[in-house]
Amino acid sequence: MKRTDIPAVNRLLKAAYETNNAPIQRLNKVRRTEPFRVLVTTILSARTKDQTTVEAASRLFRVVRKPADLTRLNVRQIEKLIFPVGFYHTKARHLHELPAVMDKRFGGKVPSTIEELIELPGVGRKTANLVVTDAFDKPGICVDVHVHRICNRLGLIRTRNPFESEMALRGILPLRYWKSWNSYLVAYGQTVCTPLRPKCHSCPITPYCARIGVVEGRK
């Protein structure tokens, strides 16, 4: 895949996103665009299947509607609400700590920059990028394992980890695609370009894919 192929591939990814009903779409409905809700849901989603995150976030938001509500729960109560998300012990502790850090550093509000967001407990660059784009409608490239894997399979980038992928994509991906690129590629990774046994035979992006070229001996 070449840079000049990005618009065509993006159109195909958008069409697949709108028809495949991937788990990420259900998660986006739960996440909404309210900054606190986006932040908490994204913290929960790390190393966790989207459907599990949807269920855990739904339970939590029946009890927690604002940061102060987290302080009224102890860590054990939060654990029970978010189980079985991955690393739920650690995430419960981070969520319990979150309101105090927000009060001390940001006046009780969810900050709107990547640099500020990563100061919060349990927040890395992937979470920060997603909060920036989904909650504040600012440019950001959220790179998870799906985005990293598919962009490298396509041959658009050649990177070793999600951080390198984010930096590479910042240099080549047109700004108008930044916000939607994560959702489109995550959905595609969940339904078509899966980690094991990707559905290459039915993938409309195969004409652009470096992996197919290698398999068929074209590269």
Mean pLDDT (whole number) for 99-104:
97
pLDDT in tens, 160-190: 999 999 999 999 999 999 999 999 999 999 9
Indicate the pTM of the whole model.
Answer: 0.88
User: What's the token pair of residue 190?
Assistant: 């969940």
Q: Tell me the CATH number for domain 34-136.
A: 1.10.340.30
Q: Dihedral angle at the C-alpha atoms of 51, 52, 53, 54, nearest 10 degrees?
A: 50
For residue range 22-39, list pLDDT tens digits in order: 999 989 988 888 999 999
The confidence score (pLDDT) of residue 150 equals 97
Distance of CA 216 to the CA centre of its chain: 32
CB count within 10 Å of CB 40 equals 26
Q: What is the pLDDT of residue 219?
A: 46
Percent of the chain with pLDDT over 70: 96
Q: What integer best gives the mean pLDDT of the chain?
A: 94
Of 146, 159, 154, the closest CA to residue 190 belongs to: 146
What was the pLDDT predicted at 136? 96
**CB distance 44 to 56 below 8 Å:** yes
CATH fold group of domain 3-21+141-215: Endonuclease Iii, domain 2 (1.10.1670)
Alpha carbon 205 to its chain's center = 22
Of 186, 201, 162, 172, the C-alpha closest to 209 is 201
Quickly count: other Cβ atoms within 10 Å of residue 194's Cβ: 13
**Residue ranges of the domains in the chain?**
3-21+141-215, 34-136
Query: Over 50: is that where the pLDDT of 218 sits?
Result: no
Which amino acid is residue 32, in one-letter code? R
